[in-house]
Amino acid sequence: MIQPIVPAAPTFRDGAAFSDTYGDTYWSLDGGLDETRHVFLSGNDLPARWQACERLTILETGFGTGLNFLCAWRSFRETAAAGARLHYLSVDKHPFRHEDLQRLYGQWPELAPLGAALLERYPPLIQGFHRLHLDGGRVTLTLLWGEAAEMLAQVEARPDAFFLDGFAPSRNPDMWSDTLFAQLGRLAAPGATFATYSAAGKVSRGMTAAGFAVDKKPGFGRKREMLCGHFPGTAQAEAARDRRALVIGGGIAGTLVAERLAARGWSIDLIERREGLARETSGNPAGVLQPVPSADGNRLSRLTLAGFHYALRQLRDFSSDPKLIWQPCGVLRLARDEKQVDRQRRIAGSGLLPPEVLRWVDVDEASALAGWRVPAPGWWFPQGGWVHPPSLCDAALRVAGDAVRLHTHREAADLLRTDSGWRAVDAAGKVLAEAPVAILANGHLARRFAVSAALPLRPVRGQITCIPAEPGRAIKAVVSREGYVTPATSFGVHVVGATYEEGSTDELAREEDHRVNLERLNHLLPDFAKTVDAARFGGRAGIRTVGPDRLPLVGAIPGSEGLFGLLGLGSRGLVYAPLCAELLACEIEGEPLPFERDLVAALDPARTTNRI
């Protein structure tokens, strides 16, 4: 069960932010920046350590104002090697509101540019993991909103350094519990260090029990002592590896995972059987970007919420590309019946999601938001919208640049294991590409290969209908229920969809399916299409792929070393693909994973082995 996040409500005392809830300050009265440098940077021998490595991971307990992160980021960008990367994970039960951080960052002009960059991507206050990419991708910040011990139990990472910066143990004992210390011991990389302003015996005993050697050092300002320490073992230099991969499938799954690997210095051969990118289901002129909230925070809800916000951040990062086509026009999700009206109203009023993410609106407000009279109330997602998938695929490869070599009109007939990795060959046995790592991103066609033939993937045919935009027939937002309709796209059409036919691989558009879509449209927007000339609408059909539980298959393919999949995205590819591509890249690289361990396990292709 997820819980509503209660934001911090700071006040100011003697020039420092103060928590009335815990009766403690967020930084030292002797100076917040100097305290961070003394306790957390020097206490963990930073920046000397990241000057000598390609990648370093920090885990912090108590994000608070973000001051420690901003100081670490500033030091990293000034002193680390050009190719180095920093992962920073931080947990907080009561994170600050965006507007409160904006006011606070005015106190530290030297950190203002970094604070502004953070606030551009600052996530909503929703329990769970939130991954942000900063500094051109060199710095990855993963914010964990929720109870510290619960959130750390969901982390899969190997931190090299810990910043322990919760409120004092006497003020907030939950942040210094035996359960939390045990999680730090579970996570710590060999030779990991920690530092904390606290010198309390409880902290020393807890870290010792977790396996750390603990030392006392001079504290900062009026604090006489602080604690530092290290975990057994020696930090190992990252071994050189052959960062080459072949990816099969040129839709949003294949192009986005190629971009995520390229950001980590990989070279990729991308093989697509059609004459260009996004020529199958990813070729639709518009797809809808919206999450699926629930009252209990089930796996689908948590994954789509995390994926939705990660996708929005990625689209904004890509938006400097003038050829990327998308519109954050908002999405209206109408209730089907009175039972769903009650459910929608209850979830929207629960506090689980802030109003900038989800509001319940009555029929009148819904109609005003849509720009057309609608038959029911529903959910309003102000940040939702529609995306042109082919332009997203193109933008991803433009970001990746020369790291991706595209092979179009080349069909991989088989995928063969070699002594050094994987080889994709065509029907004549000609080698298309070879690499140590292979990634299947070609939907149900992954089953054509012997190594992946047992994967429980099913094709689902979906057909969309495009009706011409005309004066007097316009809407301002995506409207959805069983189907959906978009506002007029850049191509002068409204996209209506989509049918759902399991087992079919017929890609020809059918007149009867157009009629089904138009009937759905009539239930969404009565009379909207009554004057549409049947001779003027068009559409296309595509084959989506689903797994046995309707969740994607993301990760290593069982029994095949170096073979991975990003498959089974179904009808939610725009929500799933960006974050799942990041997950897969992290798994391949051995980096901190971008969302909770239980969700990672729920997507692991190995979960399906008992179904095969």
33 and 98 in a single domain? The answer is yes
pLDDT score for 156:
98
Tokens coding 305:
């919420």
510 and 430 in a single domain? The answer is no
The answer on pLDDT for 262 being more than 70 is yes
Whichever domain contains 67, its CATH number is 3.40.50.150
Residue 2 lies in a domain: no
Whichever domain contains 373, its CATH number is 3.30.9.10
Residue 235 lies in a domain: no
In the chain, the percentage of residues whose pLDDT exceeds 70 is: 98
Dist. CA 370–CA 525, nearest whole Å? 9
Dist. CA 400–CA 204, nearest whole Å? 46
pLDDT score for 9:
86
373 and 486 in a single domain? The answer is yes
Q: Name the phi and psi angles at 227, rounded to 5.
A: -110, 140
140 and 152 in a single domain? The answer is yes
Dist. CA 268–CA 586, nearest whole Å? 16
Dist. CA 380–CA 333, nearest whole Å? 6
In whole numbers, what is the pLDDT of the chain averaged over residues? 94
Segment 42-51 shows an average pLDDT of 96
Dist. CA 601–CA 368, nearest whole Å? 42
Residue 444 lies in a domain: yes
Whichever domain contains 557, its CATH number is 3.50.50.60
pLDDT tens profile 265-309 = 999 999 999 999 999 999 999 999 999 999 999 999 999 999 999
pLDDT tens profile 482-497 = 899 999 999 999 999 9
Residue 52 lies in a domain: yes
The answer on pLDDT for 63 being more than 70 is yes
Total number of domains constituting the chain: 3
Determine the distance from the C-alpha atom of residue 317 to the mean position of all C-alpha atoms in its chain, rounded to a whole number: 13
Q: Categorize the per-residue pLDDT at 106 as very low, low, confident or very high, splitting at 50, 70 and 90.
A: confident
Q: Categorize the per-residue pLDDT at 239 as very low, low, confident or very high, splitting at 50, 70 and 90.
A: confident
pLDDT score for 104:
87
100 and 80 in a single domain? The answer is yes
Of 546, 566, 589, the last residue of a domain is 546
Residue 239 lies in a domain: no
Dist. CA 260–CA 397, nearest whole Å? 10
Residue 319 lies in a domain: yes
Strand order across the 421-425 sheet? 414-418, 421-425, 431-435
405 and 542 in a single domain? The answer is no
The answer on pLDDT for 16 being more than 80 is no
Q: Categorize the per-residue pLDDT at 30 as very low, low, confident or very high, splitting at 50, 70 and 90.
A: low
Residue 561 lies in a domain: yes
The candidate with the shortest Cα–Cα distance to 467, out of 420, 518, 516, is: 518
pLDDT tens profile 81-97 = 999 999 999 999 999 99
Residue with tokens 């509101």: 97
Asked if 81 contacts 120 with a C-beta cutoff of 8 angstroms, the reply is no
The answer on pLDDT for 58 being more than 90 is yes
Of 513, 531, 546, the last residue of a domain is 546
Burial class from Cβ neighbours inside 10 Å (0-12, 13-18, 19+) for residue 326 reads buried
The answer on pLDDT for 600 being more than 80 is yes
174 and 311 in a single domain? The answer is no
292: Cβ contacts below 8 Å, ≥ 6 apart = 300, 301, 304, 305, 572
Of 523, 546, 569, the last residue of a domain is 546
317 and 266 in a single domain? The answer is no
Between 343 and 610, the more confident residue is 343
- Please give the angle made by the CA atoms of 202, 205 and 206, to the nearest 5 degrees: 80
Segment 506-523 shows an average pLDDT of 92
466 and 377 in a single domain? The answer is yes
pLDDT score for 174:
87
b/e 549-574 (16+ beta carbons within 10 angstroms → b): bebbbbbbbbebebbbbbbbbbbbbb
The answer on pLDDT for 536 being more than 80 is no
pLDDT tens profile 169-199 = 888 888 999 999 999 999 999 999 999 999 9
120-129, 333-342, 394-403, 523-532 — which is least confidently predicted? 523-532
565 and 541 in a single domain? The answer is no
235: Cβ contacts below 8 Å, ≥ 6 apart = 53, 160, 189, 190, 191, 192
pLDDT tens profile 382-414 = 999 999 999 999 999 999 999 999 999 999 999
Residue ranges making up the domain that contains 99:
10-230
549: Cβ contacts below 8 Å, ≥ 6 apart = none
Burial class from Cβ neighbours inside 10 Å (0-12, 13-18, 19+) for residue 367 reads middle
pLDDT score for 29:
66
pLDDT score for 612:
41
The answer on pLDDT for 246 being more than 60 is yes
497 and 532 in a single domain? The answer is yes
Residue 265 lies in a domain: yes
E strand spans, 33-165: 55-61, 85-92, 128-134, 139-145, 161-164
The residue type of 62 is G
Segment 237-248 shows an average pLDDT of 91
First to last CA, the chain: 30
**DSSP three-state, residue 576:** helix
The candidate with the shortest Cα–Cα distance to 317, out of 228, 412, 396, is: 396
Segment 415-430 shows an average pLDDT of 96
Q: Please state, in angstroms and as integers, the Cα–Cα distance from residue 218 to each residue in 37, 75, 207, 414, following that order.
A: 13, 22, 18, 63
Segment 597-611 shows an average pLDDT of 88
415 and 358 in a single domain? The answer is no
pLDDT score for 594:
98
pLDDT score for 572:
95
Q: Name the phi and psi angles at 101, rounded to 5.
A: -65, -40
Percent helix / strand / coil, the chain, rounded to 5: 35, 25, 40
DSSP one-letter string for 427-464: TT--EEEEESEEEE-SGGGGGGSGGGTTS--EEEEEEE
pLDDT score for 126:
97
